Amino acid sequence: MTIRVIHLTASTRKRNVPGFGPVQERLDPQVIVIREYEEHGDKAAVEAFESRCDFRKARKPSLITNLMGDPLCRVRHFPIHVMLVAEHVEKKEIVGGIRGCIKSVSKGEHDQHRVYIKLAYVLGLRVSPPYRQLGIGTKLVQCLEEWCKKNGADYAYMATDSFNEASLNLFTLKCDYVKFRSLTILVQPVHAHNKPLISGVVIKQVDPQLAGSIYCKTLGDSEFFPEDIDVILHNKLSLGTFMAIPKSYLDHWDPNMTILPPSFAILSIWNTKEVFRFQVKGVSPLTYAECAGSRVLDTLMPCLRLPSVPNFFKQFGVYFLYGLHMRGYGASRLMKSLCAHAHNMARNDVLCRAVVAEVGQMDPVREVMPHWRKFSWAEDVWCIKKLGSAKHDINPGPHGWVKSTSSSSSSVIFVDPRDF
């Protein structure tokens, strides 16, 4: 990739001086270079940069992400991916970074022939605290967009918590993205006790190839449905696809799924702990003791099924549920049984301490998923931008899909587990 040089020769920034308040501070002449990440030469520098960013977070209750020595882990499972870094030339120091990948997805348009477009996902934008508000973040986004366009992407999107005003302002006010969809992230802690399955429900594991066919039939017209669904389902991180059906239907079970059952629920499980892990830091000793006490009671008296808080204060992984779909009579009970089954699978995994799902706010599954509100995100905002003259753009106007409203979108949004 062509190197982009940023000259910060006349920059100033505000700094709080005790007794005087905020004052303007003139920075020394600096040159920042934006280039592609080199795995063999940059790994240690990027890890140090990420640690500096996390250090400030850890001073208050924060969720810290450990990439386990692989800065590319969140994009590595996409066939087309990249990481860009911003390097301070004089200090030979990484001061910023951003990741991106490209995939083919459905726009959710109901047509005789399904149309896929190339969509870039922008993630992991970070700038070292001393170098913020200097335009480095904006330049990183612009350079990544150039890479995306060169690799054929029609659109680019990013996702962030609705409370992250700094990120939303950067993308919407400076980089011309628009708020597009709002999703909900539901988090269910893994307890020390097993969850009972609902009586009258049978859970079957579905072969990956067959699961791909089912998803194409049921979710193929939803927004963001990936063209390479079979690749996802065959990935080593996918722990399987499971279908729940009424026990009364068992005598009519068709292993080839020529005809789908009249009532069923289906989901797949993705093992994120092999890619990255989380850790909660900065909590008070009292909070730590309360959580530990809940686990002790749950372990000693599992029959009470107490809602214990797992040990989030050591590094842990999560299982991500994707491809959630239900239909027919009693579908809510079937989906709840699948969620209990996923919880019990996670309970048997020592390092897995939460089960997570992300669903559209109009998705009927949203009302069924068990979760703890205090650990969940009510609104995960997706912002999108048209990068060029996108092909197959059925929607009228200069921005096409970008200008489509939530009311005109499909109620179900397929969340790619590789995006999480």
Q: Report all structural domains of the chain as residue ranges with CATH numbers, in order of start.
A: 4-14+30-182 (3.40.630.30), 187-378 (3.40.630)
Query: What average pLDDT does range 144-170 have in this prediction?
Result: 95
- The pLDDT, as a whole number, for residue 115 is 84
Phi, psi of 57 (to 5 degrees): -65, -40
298-342 per-position pLDDT tens digit: 999 988 888 999 999 999 999 999 999 999 999 999 999 999 999
DSSP assignment of 161-180 equals: ETT-HHHHHIIIIIS--EEE
Do 388 and 149 meet the contact criterion of CB atoms below 8 Å apart?
Answer: yes
Confidence grade of residue 175 (pLDDT, cut at 50, 70, 90): very high
Query: Residue 226, SS3?
Result: strand
Query: Residue 155, SS3?
Result: strand
pLDDT at 384 over 70: yes
247-270 per-position pLDDT tens digit: 999 888 888 888 899 999 999 999
pTM, two decimal places: 0.89
Q: Are strands 352-360 and 317-327 parallel, antiparallel or unpaired?
A: parallel
> Tokens 């999480």 belong to which residue?
420
Q: Which helix (H) or strand (E) holds 79?
A: none
Query: Which residues lie below 8 Å from residue 254, measured CB to CB, with a gap of 6+?
Result: none
Average pLDDT of every residue of the chain: 89
Query: What average pLDDT does range 351-369 have in this prediction?
Result: 95
43-67 per-position pLDDT tens digit: 999 999 988 887 656 567 788 899 9
pLDDT at 409 over 90: no
> Tokens 């800065």 belong to which residue?
71
Confidence grade of residue 196 (pLDDT, cut at 50, 70, 90): very high
Contacts 24+ apart (CB under 8 A), 289-297: 295/192
- The pLDDT, as a whole number, for residue 214 is 96
Do 214 and 258 meet the contact criterion of CB atoms below 8 Å apart?
Answer: no
77-92 per-position pLDDT tens digit: 999 999 999 999 888 9
